Structure 1
Amino acid sequence: MKLDTHTFDALILGGGGAGLRSALALTLAGHQVAVVSKVFPTRSHTVAAQGGINAALGNITEDNWEWHMYDTIKGSDFLGDQDAIEFMCREAADIVRELEHFGVPFSRLENGKIYQRAFGGQNLNFGQEQAHRTCAAADRTGHAILHSLYQQNLHAGTRFFDEYYALDLLKDTHGNIGGLMVMNIHDGRYHVLQSRHILIATGGAGQVFRNNTNASINTGDGLGMVLRAGLPLQDMEFWQFHPTGVAGKGMLISEAVRGEGGVLKNSLGEDFMQRYAPHAKDLASRDVVARAIAIEVKEGRGCGPNKDYVLLDLTHLDDATIKQRLPGIRDISLTFLGVDPAVEPMPVFPTCHYMMGGIPTDIHGRVVTPDENGEQQIVKGLYAVGECACVSVHGANRLGGNSLLDIVVFGREAAKTISHELHQNRREKTQQAGSPETALCLDAVRQRIARWQNPAPSTDTLAAIRKALQHTMEMGCGVFRNQASMQHALQQLLLLQQRLEQVTLSDHSQVFNLQRLAAYELENLLAVAFATVHSALNRTESRGAHSRVDYPQRDDSAWLRHTLYFSAGHRLDYKPVNLHPKHHAAFAPTARTY
């Protein structure tokens, strides 16, 4: 196998908001940076983020970062690390102003300040009244941020490997991360990219569930490569089901709709959220609203001929508000439902939206793993940011508007860390008169590649296995879970793994490169599914998005800790939640009500 080799100061895997923010900072600092992206960067999933980005700017009402911090900790069902949450909320106002200077066209108030809308789970004065904290560019905020960051990277001179697929991390003979194997999707050729600083920003893995809001590219590629490198994933039992997906299809209907005054109604015409969250109502935390919708449908108050959805009603809003502040939502409703939301309500039902777990990191973006004594050790040269990472600022449930904040805050911070390390290494190399690079070990990834190069295709297909995987996860590990449903899902996953091991591909096919891509993605999705089910089975409580009907209560005495999953032997380990912020008193876990 002939391999082209390229060397860079830093490699960024993923061309979404997290990767582009990191790449921009590193390029501007004078480093040679390459961004590897499975799709053209502006097609990354950040483009689909609709509602906005949180920051306590106080443009509509008084606000401060401490209230934002409290809401995020409470929203996480107290599983979020309070030092990381504090850091993110303190940085928020500065990061939004920075985005404004990068060219993000935020919507404006009449006084010229950035428009901020109401979002679920966010309050003033530690839970007293609804906050307007979410900075918005109509309902296309992610689109605006992603395009602005991409243009800034082009101007700065960042190198892009567009439509290249990252297979696996490469280690040197000393076991240190030193490079990456990638495949050019166009011609199928493999390349080795060398760097002592690799940042994973590959996004989420929502395609593990049948109904989801995620792009088809969200297949957990960074998660799979980390597991194959022998490193753990954290808190993979926590998947957010967004309350309002397009019924039967899954596409996102943003929380911005409820932030602008939309109301959920059942078949009786009731504004049913008053029963589940008397104070916050439709703007309660996402896990609360999703469970409420699921209960309404389960108890027979759903709408439609099959009573399998509820209605999101904004017909009481004026047309100008809908067209000015929710134009993208209106387009989605017209396109996929044939419904004009200004005229009639939209059918909605919870859909898989966001992965709270991921690659464990510290607040500087450095990947961490426990040593033999259980102490957290930094993995030299490896970093992760964005949805693929778990810092953990979202804990058991993410607040809307915090995902865009997460990617740019920690994308920038990881870049600062890498830049500092690069300058330090250059000083050390100068003092040592230059040390030779250590050869990379390619055997494992070559075996993985060879596994799919077989001239005799099998009768089973990747598409059939992927469909079965998604159905298994939706039935066994959805909005509500129990021992029996998850145990059955685990048994099905073992059978699917056996099926995948028997599948072969023909290299005579004209679409062989795409078949290989699908195979690599399916390997990653299956690894993510195992991590999810094993982690969820062992957590015998309900917390945030992890809702077990057989263990309905939160159990802080036993489960105020993070799950660590290792693929070798499906081993589980645990570490405590960080309850010690640096600049503010800790928030003790309390009952979570809205």
Structure 2
Amino acid sequence: LFQTSLQFDNIVRYDEYFCTELLVEDDHCKGVVCIDIKSGEAKTFIANAVILATGGAGRVYQFNTNGGIVTGDGMSMAYRKGVALRDMEFVQYHPTGLPSSGILMTEGCRGEGGLLVNKDGYRYLQDYGLGPASDKPVKKAMELGPRDRLSQAFWHEREKGRTVKTEYGDVVYLDMRHLGEDYLHERLPMICHLAEQFEGVDPVTDPVPVRPAVHYTMGGIRTDIHAATSLTGLYAVGECASSGLHGANRLGSNSLTEFCVFGKVAGETAADFVKKQAPVTFSDSLQQQAQAALDGINALRRQSGNESIADIRKALTLTMEDHCGIYREEKLLKAGLDEVNALIERYQHIEIKDKSEAFNTELLMAYELGMLLDVAKAMLVSALNRTESRGAHQRLEPEYTERDDENFLKH
């Protein structure tokens, strides 16, 4: 995409910009306020249409497979302007992430014949309706079962004390030794490299420690089939959006199809909309909003406080891991919501020690933390309200362990 965009002179790129706020006038999104990371200056862009493609919110969890910038920015910015978030309770875990980093050990490992075993070397998935065990990979069975089922099986093994405790939490093993050195280096060279680099384990000679890690957020900004939100002129696409395509549990690779299709749809819909609008002007109202956003950036830079951004963020990710994880229940969700509300209060008292203008990453982390807190609260409230089990949302209470289509066959 980056290389393609460089081929067209009419595409103007603004790399190393961080978006902080949407500008809205008469229920019409008319631009954004950003920080130019290279200089530290705040910049305003006005337009008759804005398309958000900011990704998901996996970084709200301690263990995740996502990049460092996947912090729910677009979801939070839209939410703060009154745009609905939908299906936020549906968070997909991938069953095989490296414990120290969250880096993904892809399905290809298991597709080639890799086995998941507990601390006793036992292929435990057969105990959870995924068997019987077979010497060769079988679609939808054992190691090739659905991601959510494999992650749930890990949870049960941990509760039974059959996982391995490490400094990064409990793990099981992905055993590929039986495939042989030549086969592994031919078919899974990158997997071998990642395991050696990040875990110090050679899959040829030793099993690789793995654990479930948050991989994808099915929920996001509510959009229609045209990628439009409830706010005129605002569109969303990709993981930040909730098109409804994935339901309660995304199938592997469907997100690629989704953002290819809806990326095209969003671009065409926004372009058609803009053609029908009068040229946007930097009105007094928009100028006032932009100035307020600029004042907010400067106030955050100067703010004095006794709270650490890093401490709050670590507490947030651990809270979500412990209270809104693979399995949920009311008492844990309510306790998690209380903790997040307390963290939101602490966030009001953060202080940015770095006073530099250019490449002030601490300032960006402060904004990301505020956005993560918004998303975390939405996830907890949504999970509390869905008193059933469906897809990636599983409740522990006996009365909520099954699907309830009569009350919850809806977004």
Normalising by the residue count of structure 1, what TM-score does the alignment of the two structures yield?
A: 0.63
What SS does the corresponding residue of 1:162 show, helix, strand or coil? coil
Once the two structures are TM-superposed, the CA of residue 442 in structure 1 deviates from its matched residue by: 3.7
Equivalent in the alignment of 2:406: 557
Deviations 1:223-269, CA, capped at 9 Å, x for gaps: 11101111111111111111011134422111221122222112232
Equivalent in the alignment of 1:359: 221
Code of the residue aligned with 2:402 in structure 1: it is Q
Once the two structures are TM-superposed, the CA of residue 450 in structure 1 deviates from its matched residue by: 4.1
What SS does the corresponding residue of 1:213 show, helix, strand or coil? coil
Deviations 1:401-457, CA, capped at 9 Å, x for gaps: 2222222121122222223334x42xx76xxxx786655254352453244132x63
* 1:410-429 superposed matches below 5 A: 410-422=262-274, 424-425=275-276
Deviations 1:200-227, CA, capped at 9 Å, x for gaps: 0000111111111111111111011101
Say yes or no: does 1:463 pair with 2:310: yes
* 1:82-121 superposed matches below 5 A: none
Once the two structures are TM-superposed, the CA of residue 464 in structure 1 deviates from its matched residue by: 0.9
Once the two structures are TM-superposed, the CA of residue 507 in structure 1 deviates from its matched residue by: 6.8
Specify which of 372, 386, 389 is matched with residue 542 of structure 1. 389
Alpha carbons 1:356, 1:395 under 8 Å: kept: yes
* 1:154-173 superposed matches below 5 A: 154-157=6-9, 158-172=11-25
Normalising by the residue count of structure 2, what TM-score does the alignment of the two structures yield?
A: 0.90
Equivalent in the alignment of 2:64: 212
What SS does the corresponding residue of 1:528 show, helix, strand or coil? helix
Equivalent in the alignment of 1:350: 212
* 1:384-423 superposed matches below 5 A: 384-422=236-274
Equivalent in the alignment of 1:323: 185
Please report the RMSD computed on the Cα atoms of aligned residues, expressed in angstroms. Answer: 2.2
CA distance in 2, matches of 1:510, 1:390: 35
Specify which of 160, 172, 175 is matched with residue 310 of structure 1. 172
What SS does the corresponding residue of 2:88 show, helix, strand or coil? coil
Equivalent in the alignment of 1:336: 198
Percent identity reads 42
Once the two structures are TM-superposed, the CA of residue 289 in structure 1 deviates from its matched residue by: 0.7
Code of the residue aligned with 2:13 in structure 1: it is F
Once the two structures are TM-superposed, the CA of residue 493 in structure 1 deviates from its matched residue by: 1.1
Equivalent in the alignment of 1:282: 143
Say yes or no: does 1:194 pair with 2:43: no
Alpha carbons 2:238, 2:258 under 8 Å: kept: yes
CA distance in 1, matches of 2:268, 2:182: 43
Equivalent in the alignment of 1:231: 83
What SS does the corresponding residue of 2:170 show, helix, strand or coil? coil
Alpha carbons 1:255, 1:400 under 8 Å: kept: no
Q: Could you tell me which runs of 5 or more consecutive residues in structure 1 were left unpaired when the two chains were aligned.
A: 1-148, 370-378, 563-594
Say yes or no: does 1:300 pair with 2:161: yes
Deviations 1:261-283, CA, capped at 9 Å, x for gaps: 22211223222222322362211
Once the two structures are TM-superposed, the CA of residue 177 in structure 1 deviates from its matched residue by: 0.8
CA distance in 1, matches of 2:375, 2:165: 34
Task: Assess, with a 3 A threshold, how the Cα gap between structure 1 residues 498 and 255 changes in structure 2: closer, same or farther.
Answer: same
Alpha carbons 1:457, 1:506 under 8 Å: kept: no
Code of the residue aligned with 2:158 in structure 1: it is V
Alpha carbons 2:72, 2:372 under 8 Å: kept: yes
Task: Assess, with a 3 A threshold, how the Cα gap between structure 1 residues 505 and 249 changes in structure 2: closer, same or farther.
Answer: closer
Task: Assess, with a 3 A threshold, how the Cα gap between structure 1 residues 361 and 294 changes in structure 2: closer, same or farther.
Answer: same
Alpha carbons 2:227, 2:266 under 8 Å: kept: yes
Task: Assess, with a 3 A threshold, how the Cα gap between structure 1 residues 337 and 512 changes in structure 2: closer, same or farther.
Answer: closer
Deviations 1:310-343, CA, capped at 9 Å, x for gaps: 1112222244443343222221101111112132
What SS does the corresponding residue of 2:164 show, helix, strand or coil? coil
